Amino acid sequence: MKDLVSIERVALLHPKFRQSAQDFIEDAENTLGIKIRVVQGYRTFAEQDVIYQQGRTTPGNIVTYSPAGTSYHNYGLAMDLCPFMDSGLSLNWNYNFELLRPFAVKQGMTLGLDFPKKDSDHFENKYGFNWRDLLHKYQDNDFISGTQYVNI
């Protein structure tokens, strides 16, 4: 990976997801000649609640439809990312995220482009679990020993 912020954020993803996230980004960067920023990765329930309230009970636009516990970000199994502009100084939110599909699919990821409410910069791997399964594990304290990551 070419972006130090992204390296730090990938390191916070669920241990099962980290390597495939890194491989996805590196493959896309090297093949497409781009540099990618992981804008969001792991989010605590508290952080999820804050952004869920945005546009509802707090000022701003709605940015998520997932309350705390229902987002794969809460389990370190999702990331939002965006390539940099050619200058490398700002992010290109007009990027054709469809170009990233083959690299994500190769790593077993689902794309937010395929959601009913499109989320073009979102990539996740559920590893066969729905958010209810993961929430149940969280509520039962079924974590990898010494971590905040649920056992999957």
Exposure on the CB side of residue 9, measured as CA atoms within 13 A: 22
Q: Which domains can be identified in the chain, with CATH numbers?
A: 4-139 (3.30.1380.10)
Instruction: Give the chain's largest Cα–Cα span.
Output: 47
pLDDT tens for each residue of 97-144: 999 999 999 999 999 999 999 999 999 999 999 999 999 999 999 999
Report pTM.
0.94
pLDDT tens for each residue of 30-74: 999 999 999 999 999 999 999 999 999 999 999 899 999 999 999
CA distance 138 to 85: 38
CA distance readout (Å), 53 to 57, 62, 89, 115: 5, 8, 30, 21
